[in-house]
Copies of this chain bind each other. A is one copy, B any other.
Amino acid sequence: VQKLSKYIPSSPEEEKFLADYNPTKYGPGVAYTVDIIVFTIHNGKLSLPLVKRGGFPYKGSWALPGGFVESNESSEEAAVRELGEETGLSIDKIYCEQLKTYSDPDRDPRMRVVSTAYVAFIPHLGMPVGGDDAVDAHLFAVEDILSDDEDITLAFDHLRILEDALERAKSKLEYTPLAATFLEAPFTLSDLRRVYETVWGQSLHAANFRRKVLSTNGFVVPIGEKGSSKFESGRTAELYTIGNVNMLHPALLRNQD
């Protein structure tokens, strides 16, 4: 989160102009909020927390966590703040990026609300799985939300936001090493492969995956120890941590959907 440098008026008359400026002449303005799609992997499924709405509108439906952007913060800062409140995680363990801004005038029947959505990837830790005390938050599997069988209705345009977020997450894994942000270090290459398989919803060739990851310089770095994966049987595997590159060259492409 980078700050702009402070604006310096060029002249006394400009200073006076700014001091006397009356914002109300530009009308009522809009309410500005953030919504956050916090992706994590729980029980082998791509999941995210949703909050049950207690009041109108969409009472009883599930909504993305989020809230109003305060007057002294950017939407990035608001997203990070809400994320901390929601998950209790420190910022440096989280990956968070802006997704898109939703501004349909009818998206909230109460009033005009413009919302910027953020996508975050976190390892599954002490996330609220069942109902919390203050807010009624649950972890939901994406496939259950999108399934016609399940009866999970999302408030506002949050289903569309989720669809956009899912596509973003899938494509992010292709050309960045961010899959590792779903894991706690150290991890095995199988753990990493399972992240891809979970997010993309397709199985990958283990041997070729291994070669591709290791041949991409800086993707992962071995810690020099072996350890058992998060799974039971089989040989113990080399352990890795995430490397220091931002982009993968070449990318790790999924098959077409």
Interface residue ranges, A against B (CB under 8 Å): 3-4, 6-7, 9-10, 14, 17-18, 21, 23, 26-32, 56-57, 59, 68-69, 71-76, 98, 100-101, 103-107, 109-112, 114, 116, 157, 249, 256
Contacts and interface: CB of A to CB of B under 8 A. Distances in A.
Given A31-B26, A100-B98, A7 B56 contact: no
A105 B23 CA distance: 14
A196 B53 CA distance: 49
Contacts of A103: 32, 69, 74-76, 116
B18 A109 contact: yes
A98 B98 CA distance: 12
A18 B56 contact: yes
B26 A29 contact: no
27 contacts: A4-B104, A4-B157, A7-B106, A14-B57, A18-B56, A18-B109, A21-B110, A26-B68, A27-B31, A27-B68, A27-B71, A28-B29, A28-B71, A29-B30, A30-B31, A30-B114, A32-B114, A73-B105, A74-B104, A74-B105, A75-B101, A75-B103, A98-B100, A98-B101, A101-B101, A103-B116, A114-B114
Contacts of A100: 98
Given A3-B104, A4-B107, 9 more contacts: A4-B157, A9-B109, A23-B31, A27-B68, A29-B29, A72-B105, A98-B100, A101-B116, A249-B256
B23 A110 contact: yes
B71 A112 contact: yes
Question: Which of A18, A100, A103, A109 counts the most chain B CB atoms within 10 A?
Answer: A103
A64 to B, nearest CB: 16
- Top 5 nearest A-B pairs (CB, nearest first) are A29-B29, A23-B111, A7-B109, A101-B101, A75-B103
Contacts of A116: 101, 103
Contacts of A107: 4
Contacts of A4: 104, 106-107, 157
Nearest to A117: B101
A7 B75 contact: no
